[in-house]
A and B are shown apart, each in its own frame.
Chain A
Amino acid sequence: MTLTINDLKAKRQFADKTFRIATLLGGATILVILALIAYTVAHRSTDAFRLAGFKFFTGKRYVPNASPPVFGALSFIYGTAISSLIAIIIAIPISLGLALFTTQVAPSWLKRPLVALTDLVAVVPSVVFGLWGVIFLAPKIVSVYKNISNWCHGIPVLSTIFGKTGAGRTFMTAGLILAVMITPIITSIAREVIETCPQTDRDGALALGATRWEMITGAVLPHSIGGIVGAVMLGLGRAMGETIAAALVIGSSAAITANVFSSGDSLPSVIASQWGEADDNGKSALIAMGLTLFLMTLVVNFLATAIVSRSTKRMQGAS
């Protein structure tokens, strides 16, 4: 059998097309998986939503083995919000300081070690931070909490936020551990955004007589604020979804209180800790909490991605 030029051409085109379709399928699995996540998780949640109704989002009580079971997830939603909020408040100054020091202050030989330091924090598995938090940090930090609580005694607002405590596993401890865990992600995005600030802007500020800090506030930060906000929101999304570290240090007792030194519970942590004992309805309720968490992080990440991509587009246009 002899092959003509046209046969060869057809064969080549066939191979090319097959390859194209194969890579397309590889990419399309992402869409398929996301669709499946949304569908299957929502589908399995219906039992819990049918039993609890809208009370699922407004009820504070969660008693899975009562009959009928009571599924109120509000205190867990609150715990997720408050612990990630604490984490963000602590992580913002540290991440920004780290990113600015690395890009604007550090001599060039120090830059690579500083980047490596940040990456190293990201490599430590979350369960290890959790282990350290529960066995090492929590027992030691109780006295710190007690001191802060005593200082704030009698001062309005502060005495509510930093109230009475006797526990090491609290919203605050969870917030601290989460802050350490999200610092690398905020730092590395903030660093990338800051580095897109044109050298001419920085030189211009310095030439006008600005100190380094004035150069940062006058030229670097206005330029990169959009990207930094996006980075912080990505960090927030990560903090909300982080399970194991929070599950170990948050204290596992449902509570809605403004006192950050109180034990509480969050959505991911209650899913992980109650899974073993849950019956079918209980599992459905926990999956429904997973769905709630999924939607919460989806909204936050959605906004974050939009903000980051808009600000990078604008910056590319500017330079």
Chain B
Amino acid sequence: MTAVLDHVAEPSPSAALLEDLVGVSGRRRTKNIVMTALMALAVLIILAVLVLVLGTVATKGWSIVHSKFPQWFTKDIPATARRVGPGMNAAIIGTIVTTATATAIAIPLGIAGAIYLNEYGKRGVFARILRFFTSVMAGVPSIVMGLFIYVFWVLPRKEAGLTGLSGAFALACLMLPIVVRATEEMLKLVPQNLRDASFALGATRSRTTLTVVIPKASAGIISGSLLAVARAAGETAPLIFTVSVGASAVRKANWNVFSGPNTSLSLQIYSNAKETFAGAQERAWGSALTLIALAFLFTIAARVLSARLSRNS
């Protein structure tokens, strides 16, 4: 580098040309190296944060989940935040039933909507409007979804409206645009000549969609939907107003989504994180570990499926 600089030090009309011929000047090269290092630094920062967060959750959460192994999953939530010890049974069940119900609502609707967009609406005016509002809906804050279900569904039913089902409605509103977008992307990938072949055999559009297009795109649709499920399972804000009056109101597992208040892992983390008692904080870390494990399970399943899809086609 210095050699190059020495070489072009004497002022001559061809200095710039010579510099270009010999190589990149020192300052330009230094700038390139510094900027590349800064880009790498960004990667390191995000990696460090992720390791720090997951590491803290894993070590602090593992101690309660592991040392109280079966009780963590089977016992009721302690009556007061002050009490030390396990029991997240109610929250685990609550997360599973509300998320499952939300999935059962959002996925059929979302897939139907995506089929309309890609197979029927295409570039039409209505389809374009729908696509636009899908992205608008994807940007609606999750807390607004919760408020909406509170006003629309819980309020007319008073206390009886606070159920797992109400929470599931709010989560389904959150999942719907994600499922529509992911499914439409997958349907777009199905080659047009497969559809044409089916039409040539005399099949209608509905039959073609159900027997040719959907099976071809199924792995991708499932993996997109699982990502939406993972997102919904971790959401807290939509549940605050819809499943129970206060997070501590529910201690026993409630499998019935249609009646009785419910709770969830995310709600338990939120309420316990605000407490100063060691026992409550310990339960918050344990719940966080359980929730992350659930979310990762779905994400890994989604990745495996999408990897299989890209291998097959």
Residues of A whose CB lies within 8 Å of any CB of B are 12-13, 15-16, 18-20, 22-31, 33-34, 36-37, 40-41, 43-44, 93-98, 100-102, 105, 114, 116-121, 123-132, 134-136, 180, 183, 209, 211-214, 216, 234, 237-238, 240-244, 247-248, 268, 271-272, 275-276, 286-287, 290, 293-294, 297-298, 300-302, 304-305
Whether B119 pairs with A23 at a CB distance below 8 angstroms is yes
CB <8 Å contact, B281 and A214: no
Taking Cβ atoms with an 8 Å cutoff, the residues of B that contact A are 20, 24, 28-29, 31-32, 35-36, 38-43, 45-47, 49-50, 52-54, 56-57, 108-117, 119-121, 129-130, 132-137, 139-145, 147-148, 150-152, 155, 173, 176-177, 180, 204-207, 209-210, 230, 233-237, 240-241, 245-246, 266, 269-270, 273-274, 281, 284-285, 288, 291-292, 295-296, 299, 303
B236 lies within 8 A of A211 (CB): no
9 contacts between A and B (CB under 8 A): A23-B119, A34-B137, A40-B151, A116-B303, A123-B295, A125-B233, A125-B295, A212-B32, A305-B132
Asked if A94 contacts B130 (CB within 8 A), the reply is no
| A128, B292: Cβ atoms closer than 8 Å | yes
Question: What is the bound-complex CA distance between A211 and B20, given in angstroms?
Answer: 12
Q: A135-B281, A276-B245, A297-B139 are in contact. Are A244 and B144 (CB under 8 A)?
A: no
Of chain A, the residue at the smallest CB distance from B57 is A128
Taking CB atoms, residues of chain A closer than 8 Å to B176 are 29-30, 33
Give the interface centre of A26, A93, A118, A129 by most chain B CB atoms within 10 Å: A26
Most A C-beta atoms less than 10 A away, residue of B39, B43, B111:
B39
- Shortest Cβ gap from B59 to chain A (Å): 11
Q: Evaluate contact between A31 and B130: CB separation under 8 angstroms.
A: yes
Query: At the interface, is chain B mostly helix, strand, loop or mixed?
Result: helix
B204–A12 CB distance below 8 A: yes
* CB pair A272 B204 closer than 8 Å: no
CB of A27 within 8 A of CB of B144, answer no
Chain A's nearest CB lies how many Å from the CB of B274? Answer: 7
**Cβ of B50 to closest chain A Cβ, rounded Å:** 6
Contact A135/B284 with A41-B151, A243-B237 known, Cβ cut-off 8 Å: yes
- Contact among A23, A126, A275 with B116 in the assembled complex (CB-CB below 8 Å): A23
Among candidates A93, A129, A241, residue contacting B144 with C-beta atoms closer than 8 Å = A241
Please measure, in the bound complex, the distance between the C-alpha atom of A43 and the C-alpha atom of B156, giving whole angstroms: 14
Residues of A within 8 A of B31 (CB): 211, 213
Contact (Cβ within 8 A) B296 A123: yes
Cβ A272 vs Cβ B299 within 8 A: no
**What residues of B have a CB within 8 angstroms of the CB of A294 in the complex?**
140-141, 144
Give the residue name and chain of the B residue nearest to A130 (CB): B273
Q: Which residues from chain B contact A300 at a C-beta distance below 8 Å?
A: 139
Closest to B269 in A: A127
B36 touches A241 (CB 8 A): no
Instruction: Kindly provide the distance from the CB of A276 to the nearest chain B CB, expressed in whole angstroms.
Output: 5
Which residue of chain B has its CB nearest to the CB of A215? B32
B143 → chain A closest CB, angstroms:
4
In chain A, what residue has the closest Cβ to B34?
A213
What residue in chain B is nearest A212 (Cβ atoms)? B32
Question: B143–A126 contact, CB under 8 A?
Answer: no
Contact of A287 (CB < 8 Å), options: B24, B147, B234, B288? B147
* A125 lies within 8 A of B144 (CB): no
Q: Give the top 10 A-B pairs by smallest Cβ distance, nearest first.
A: A26-B112, A125-B234, A241-B141, A97-B42, A19-B206, A301-B139, A27-B113, A23-B116, A211-B32, A101-B39
> Is B144 a contact of A214 with CB atoms below 8 Å?
no
B143 engages A268 (CB within 8 Å) = yes
Do A131 and B273 have beta carbons less than 8 Å apart?
A: yes
Across the interface, name the chain B residue whose C-beta is closest to A136.
B56
Given A24-B120, A294-B144: A268 and B237 interface contact (C-beta under 8 Å)? yes
In the complex, the answer to whether B113 meets A26 with C-beta atoms within 8 Å is yes
A134 touches B273 (CB 8 A): yes
> Which residues on A sit within 8 Å (CB–CB) of B108?
26
Q: Is the CB of A130 within 8 A of B296?
A: no
- 4 extra interface residue pairs, beta carbon distance < 8 Å, beyond A117-B47, A300-B139: A23-B116, A105-B40, A125-B292, A131-B284
A32 to B29, CA, bound (A): 57
Q: Which chain A residue shows the least CB distance to B106?
A: A29
CA distance A107 to B184 in the complex (A): 31
| A180 to B45 Cα, complex, angstroms | 10
The CA of A240 and the CA of B112, in the complex, are separated in Å by 31
Nearest B-chain residue to A308, judged by Cβ: B135
| Contact yes or no, A27 B116, CB < 8 A | yes
- Inter-subunit contact B266/A212 (CB<8 Å): no
B28 touching A214 by the CB < 8 A rule?
A: yes
Q: Are B273 and A27 in contact (CB under 8 A)?
A: no
List the A side residues contacting B266 at CB < 8 Å: 125, 127, 244
A116 to B41, CA, bound (A): 17
Chain A: CB-nearest residue to B29: A211
B144 near A26: Cβ-Cβ < 8 Å: no
Partner of A290, one of B28, B144, B285: B144
Q: In whole Å, how far is B42's beta carbon from the nearest beta carbon of chain A?
A: 3
